[in-house]
Amino acid sequence: MNFVSPGRRGWLGFLATLAAAALATGARADDDAIGVASVVRNNVSGVLPSGVVKIDTGASVVRNEVVKTAEDSSTKLVFSDSTNLAIGPSSTVRLSNFVSAGPSTYGKAAIDVAKGVFRFTTGHSDKRAYEITTGVATIGVRGTIFEGESTPGRTRLHVVNGTVNVRTKNGKFCELRAGQSAIVTDLACTPILGFNPSFQFFAGQCAAGPGLCAPEEFSGLAPGEQGFFGVESPAMFVLPAGVVGGAVAGGVAAGASHASKSGIPTVYPLNPVSP
CATH number where 78 lies: 2.60.120.1440
**In this predicted structure, what is the pLDDT of residue 254?**
32
pLDDT, residue 111, reads 97
In a domain, 170, yes or no: yes
- Are 179 and 82 contained in the same domain? yes
Number of separate domains in the chain: 2
| 63 inside domain | yes
Mean pLDDT for the stretch of residues 138-166 = 94
Question: Do both 132 and 194 map to the same domain?
Answer: yes
Residue 265 belongs to some domain of the structure? no
Can you give the residue range of the structural domain that contains 247? 1-25+240-255
- Cα end-to-end distance, the chain, whole Å: 22
The yes-or-no verdict on residue 30 having pLDDT over 80 is no
| 134 neighbors 108 (Cβ within 8 angstroms) | no
Write the pLDDT tens digit of every residue in 45-87: 999 999 999 999 999 999 999 999 999 999 999 999 999 999 9
CB within 8 Å of 117: residues ≥ 6 apart: 87, 88, 89, 91, 147, 148, 149, 150, 201, 202
pLDDT of residue 200: 87
Report in angstroms the alpha-carbon separations of 125 from 13, 22, 82, 105, 180.
38, 30, 9, 5, 24
Number of Cα atoms under 13 Å in the Cβ half of residue 188: 5
pLDDT of residue 192 exceeding 90: yes
**Least confident piece of the model among 55-64, 167-176, 204-213:** 204-213
Residues forming a β-bridge with 128: none
134 and 1, same structural domain? no
User: Which residues, in sequence order, are CB contacts of 101 under 8 Å at separation 6+?
Assistant: 107, 125, 126, 129
Q: Are residues 99 and 142 in the same domain?
A: yes
Q: What is the pLDDT of residue 104?
A: 82
Q: How far is 253 from 246, CA to CA, in rounded Å?
A: 8
Q: Are residues 109 and 16 in the same domain?
A: no
Give the per-residue pLDDT at 138. 97
Residues 20 and 89 in one domain: no
Residue 170 has pLDDT above 70, yes or no: yes
**8 and 39 share one domain:** no
For residue 243, is pLDDT > 80?
A: no
Q: Are the C-beta atoms of residues 264 and 224 closer than 8 Å to each other?
A: yes
CA distance 68 to 199: 22
Residue 166 belongs to a domain: yes
In angstroms, the CA 166 to CA 243 distance is: 45
The mean pLDDT of the chain is 77
Same domain, 44 and 129: yes
CA distances from 110 to 45, 130, 234 (A): 20, 6, 25
Please check whether residue 274 lies inside any domain of the structure: no
Cα-based angle 216, 220, 222 (whole degrees, multiple of 5): 115
Rounded average pLDDT over 238-254: 34
Residues 212 and 95 both lie in one domain = yes
145 part of a folded domain:
yes
The answer to whether 109 and 83 have CB atoms below 8 angstroms apart is: yes
Whether residues 201 and 163 share a domain: the answer is: yes
Domain membership flag for residue 264: no
Assigned domain for 162 exists: yes
- Are residue 48 and residue 105 in the same domain, yes or no? yes
* Least confident among 7-16, 126-135, 136-145: 7-16
Tell me: do 206 and 248 sit in the same domain: no
Q: Pick the residue with more confidence: 59 or 201?
A: 59
Give the integer Cα–Cα distance in Å for 96 and 197.
31
User: Between residues 131 and 243, which one has the greater pLDDT?
Assistant: 131
Report the 10 Å Cβ neighbour count for 139: 23
- For residue 11, is pLDDT > 60? no
- Least reliable range by pLDDT among 105-119, 186-200, 236-250: 236-250
Give the per-residue pLDDT at 261: 31
Q: Give the lowest-confidence range in 34-43, 163-172, 226-235.
A: 226-235
241 compared with 125, residue with greater pLDDT: 125
